[in-house]
Amino acid sequence: VVSVAASALAARYLARPDSAVLAVCGCGDQARAQACALVDVLPIERGFAWDIDPGRAIAYAAEMSTALGLPFQAVPSLREATRTADVIVTCTTARTAFLSESEVRPGTFVAAVGADNPDKSEITPALMARAKVVADVLGQCVVMGDLHHAIAAGAMTADAVHAELAEIVCGARPGRQSDGEIIVFDSTGTAIQDVASAA
Q: Are 57 and 50 in contact, with CB atoms under 8 Å apart?
A: yes
> Which DSSP helix (H) or strand (E) runs through 114?
none
115 closest CA partner among 139, 131, 95, 89: 95
Q: Are 87 and 23 in contact, with CB atoms under 8 Å apart?
A: yes
Burial of 107 (0-12, 13-18, 19+ CB in 10 A): middle
> Which DSSP helix (H) or strand (E) runs through 187?
none
Q: Are 185 and 165 in contact, with CB atoms under 8 Å apart?
A: yes
Which residues are catalytically annotated?
A: 116
Helix (H, G, I), strand (E, B) or coil at 23: strand
